[in-house]
Amino acid sequence: MNKISIRKVNPDELAVLRQISIKTFVDKFASVNSESDMDDYLSKNLSLEKLSEEYSNLNSAFYLAFADETPVGYLKLNSKEAQTDCRDQNALEVERLYVDEAFQGQKIGQKLFDKAIQIAKSGNFDFIWLGVWEHNEGAIKFYERNGFEIFGKHEFWLGKDLQFDLLMKRDLVRN
By annotation, the residues acting in catalysis are: 143
Measure the CA–CA gap between 152 and 167, rounded to whole angstroms: 5
Three-state DSSP state, 168: strand
DSSP letter string over 53-120?
HHHH-TTEEEEEEEETTEEEEEEEEEEGGG-SS---TTEEEEEEEEE-GGGTTSSHHHHHHHHHHHHH
Question: Which run of H or of E encompasses 164?
Answer: strand 161-171
